[in-house]
Amino acid sequence: MLCCSIFRTKWFVGILLFITACMGCNPHVVKTDVSPLIGGNDEYSLSVEGIEPQSRWWEVLNDRFLDALVVEALSENLTLTQARARIEQARAAGKQARSFLYPEVSGRASGGSEWRYKEKPDDGFTLGLGLAWEVDFWRRISSAAEATSYELRASREDLEAVALMLTAQVAETYYESIEQNLRLALLERQIDVGKTLLELTELRFGYGEASVVDVFQQRQQLASTRTQVPLVRSRVRTLQNRLSVLLGRAPVGRPLSMAEDFPELPPLPLTGVPVDLLQKRPDLRRIQDQLIAVDYRVAEAMADRFPKIQLTGAGGFQDRLAAEGMFFSLLLEAVAPLIDWERRHAEVEKQEALFREVLARYSQAYLTAIEEVENALWQERHQGELLEALDRQISIAKSNLSETGNRYRQGLTDYLPVLAAIQSLQELERDILSRRRQLVSIRILLYRALGGSPLEAGIYGPAASVKPANVHLPEGVTK
């Protein structure tokens, strides 16, 4: 009798497994073919333990100090650590979702005694296993598992996007620090020039060739230059602190090592066509994966409205560890929601609205990405034209200073035109220093807008080279 019972149970379970195996023929409620979008490859070049961006764009700047800072930031930055932790969370959520595809087996053990009046205690125990399994007939659980899979992919792309943003921030802060160091050196040279002019003016005043007003005007000009030094030194320190935080360090300690000048920029990279940004930029790939994940959430919500087919079973020994004490039970049931006051329908509507929201976000992010690339290209082109115009203006300012200095020494004019020429030249020298740093920042923006894609010479021609700002003693001025 026991053998027959076991045989019927195996037959019943075999039929059930056959039905479950055929569920793959049942089409997904919301079927999405994502292979053209993701390249059919679920592997990524980055991992949770470390990150290796698809393109080390900063290396084209040929700055070994920047290379070292970026590598340290990618290893120690705490924002990246948070992104890695989110990947672990998404991975664990995926394991949880996939676990519902398989039967859950639990062990059961119980024992007790029952007393009756004037009777011996009735002792008994139960030892066995329990089985609980929801048959994924409508692919509700499969949809949830697929959703978590794409949410994991989105988390990985988020790590890539954070890394790209971090490298751009490190490079931007690094070159701002270089700018402030150059500005500080420039101010010191301008102060030396101012001291030289003050000594000459005082010497001419001693010989009666200049008025006391000329002396005070030069002293005021020198004091005005000196007032900028504390602001620049403060900016140098704050930028160093910012770099330290980006590197995962406390903003204390010795200054970071860095280059003495800006790099000479390589030719512009190939930008390709706008649609290439969908694969190059990790932030767009992240939203794409989020969109597919929400699509599977819609399917999950739809499948939740259909009956749930559940298999439960138990088996073991009761009262004795022998064949006479063995027991088995198996139950297949279908539970269908009849009245839920549109709770499940509302969940479908919510997920569909979320899908439309993410789709709109995806479209908006794509348009913004195109805008960022176009803006960077136009800004770099016109920034190069501005630098050329400033170079010409500095040449004119130097000629003007030389001529006004000669006329002042010949007694043909007072000191005011010389002072105006000095101030104009020094302001131009400081301005062109900032403009050259801005050119580097625009190129960094372009690399980030392209998603850190491989950099090759493009059809736009070479970019303007960034050269150090030279400060010379004004022509015609000698001790």
User: What's the pLDDT tens digit per position in 384-411?
Assistant: 999 999 999 999 999 999 999 898 888 8
Residue whose pair of structure tokens reads 């003016």 in the numeric block: 201
Residue 363 pLDDT: 96
Q: What percent of the chain has pLDDT over 90?
A: 63
Q: Where are the beta strands (DSSP E) in 26-169?
A: 104-114, 122-135
How many Å separate Cα 184 from the centre of its chain?
A: 32
> pTM of the predicted model, to two decimals?
0.81
Residue 453 pLDDT: 65
User: Could you tell me if residue 117 is inside a domain?
Assistant: no
User: Could you tell me if residue 429 is inside a domain?
Assistant: yes
Nearest to 354 by CA among 285, 293, 264, 433: 293
Residue 90 pLDDT: 96
Residue 272 pLDDT: 84
Using alpha carbons only, give the angle 409, 411, 413 rounded to the nearest 5 degrees. Answer: 100
Provide the residue range defining the domain that includes 350: 2-19+54-108+123-449
Please give the chain's pLDDT, 479 residues, in tens. Answer: 333 333 343 434 343 333 333 433 333 433 333 332 223 334 333 433 444 444 789 999 999 999 999 999 999 999 999 999 999 999 999 999 999 999 999 998 888 777 777 677 777 778 889 999 999 999 999 999 999 999 999 999 999 999 999 999 999 999 999 999 999 999 999 999 999 999 988 888 888 888 899 899 999 999 999 999 999 999 999 999 999 999 999 987 678 889 999 999 999 888 889 999 999 999 999 999 999 999 999 999 999 999 999 999 998 888 777 777 788 899 999 999 999 999 999 999 999 999 999 999 999 999 999 999 999 999 999 999 999 999 999 999 999 999 998 988 888 888 889 899 999 999 999 999 999 999 999 999 999 999 986 444 333 333 333 333 333 333 333 33
Q: Say how many domains are in the chain.
A: 1
% helix / strand / coil in the chain, to the nearest 5? 65, 10, 25
> Alpha-carbon distance 271 to 154, whole Å?
25
How many Å separate Cα 198 from the centre of its chain?
A: 52
Residue 18 pLDDT: 38
Residue 455 pLDDT: 44
Nearest to 225 by CA among 256, 263, 184: 184
Residue 49: partners with Cβ closer than 8 Å, 6 or more residues away: 84
Residue 141 pLDDT: 95
User: What secondary structure letter does DSSP report for 125?
Assistant: E
User: Could you tell me if residue 161 is inside a domain?
Assistant: yes
Tell me the sheet residues that pair with 314: 130, 329
Residue 246 pLDDT: 95
User: Could you tell me if residue 469 is inside a domain?
Assistant: no
Report the CATH number that the domain containing residue 398 is assigned in CATH: 1.20.1600.10
User: Could you tell me if residue 458 is inside a domain?
Assistant: no
User: Could you tell me if residue 462 is inside a domain?
Assistant: no
Structural Rg of the chain based on CA atoms: 37
469: its two tokens: 């700002």
User: Could you tell me if residue 155 is inside a domain?
Assistant: yes
User: Could you tell me if residue 24 is inside a domain?
Assistant: no
